[in-house]
Structure 1
């Protein structure tokens, strides 16, 4: 009887201990997480046309064994992204080999105080820094009609964040696409499939290089 009680107690202890993270990908496939808004989610596009899907295809065409996870939520702000980090990470086996942080466009469009956007993005970077996950910051730029003061404060967020965490910066996620009617949906805000192609073509060399040159056990530097 005592032996049975001991076994039951041991079983209960095992069941109560939370799993320490997720199992790593068994075949060595690199894991890239794109944490973003509708520009990541693929708003208005057919399946397979989103930025994560096309980035994965472009990396595979370069011989990289990779899975790119789409953690984009349309309408999300930087604060929204910070609040759902656990959800975003739950779909990635093990720790991501790279995170692409693409948030802030909705903050800009809604005129959110840049200080609030900065705090949210800093919280995200702090989390990945503690977890030892490298981050590529995909920058955003404010529309000129937001006013000079707002534009200057908002545009400074991403270079400052990159400098603080010694993280690589892709200065403007919509580079080559913003303002081009032929590469945007009728709303003028979201890229078409062809617009996504332009974004991927421009950013993939940087992503490829970060994956190829990552040292074993690489971590994102802490705040300076």
Structure 2
């Protein structure tokens, strides 16, 4: 009789553990997850969450038939070095595809493009090691940036994409940069309309990336 009661707690724990694990496993099987690793644009600077890039990309993906959860992993002011330092915990393990959208603050700070390239290479390599699909968003420097530096900086993104064998979205701010009606008063951060333009451009690329992962 002493042995019988001692088996019950163990059995209850086993059953409880199985029940707790089942819903999480079911959800993981059903949903797809896109994480956007970025800076203030990803973080939705100056915008409500509903108008920020993650929410708008998610809405555009659903219009394309890709029912995915889009998570924002943006930190305002972050450089590629900052993204590298936090990529392992900012991009959760259930992520199917990660959009890496970093580099704008490197550009503003005049960081050596070689350092930016090395950081992006390492970010992408870490994500690939974790079996996470990667799309890299590039940037086109504004006209006020010196030509030599701008040329060297812009070349970073296609170089990383080629070396790592990943998809490149050439310019995150295509159709938005230098267009006052699509930007906030600071001239750097897109407003809700500008974010909508960005999301419309990104969604087909991300939908394709999700589709290739089965």
Structure-1-length-normalised TM-score:
0.81
What residue is the counterpart of 1:60 in the other structure? 62
8 Å contact kept, 2:58–2:70 = yes
Q: Is the 8 A contact 2:121 2:164 kept in 1?
A: no
Question: Which residue matches 2:164?
Answer: 165
Q: Deviations over 1:19-58 (max 9, x none)?
A: xxxx664351001110000011100001211111111111
Counterpart of 1:194 in structure 2 is 193
Query: Could you say which residue in structure 1 is the equivalent of 2:202?
Result: 203
* In structure 2, distance between residues paired with 1:203 and 1:214: 17
Kindly name which structure, 1 or 2, has the bigger radius of gyration based on alpha carbons. 2
Number of aligned residue pairs? 190
Instruction: Tell me the distance in 2 between the aligned counterparts of 1:162 and 1:29.
Output: 27
Which structure's residues are more often helix, by fraction?
Answer: 2
Which aligned pairs between 1:43-192 and structure 2 lie closer than 5 A? 43-89=45-91, 92=92, 94-192=93-191
Once the 2 structures are TM-superposed, how far is the Cα of residue 97 of structure 1 from its aligned partner?
Answer: 0.9
Name the SS for the 2:132 alignment partner.
Answer: coil
Hey, which bits of structure 1, 4+ residues long, moved more than 6 A? none
TM-score, normalised to structure 2, is: 0.84
For structure 1, the 5+ residue unaligned runs are 1-22, 216-224
Indicate conservation of the 8 Å contact 2:57/2:203, yes or no. yes
Instruction: List gaps (5 residues or longer) in structure 2.
Output: 1-23
Give the drift of 1:63. 2.6
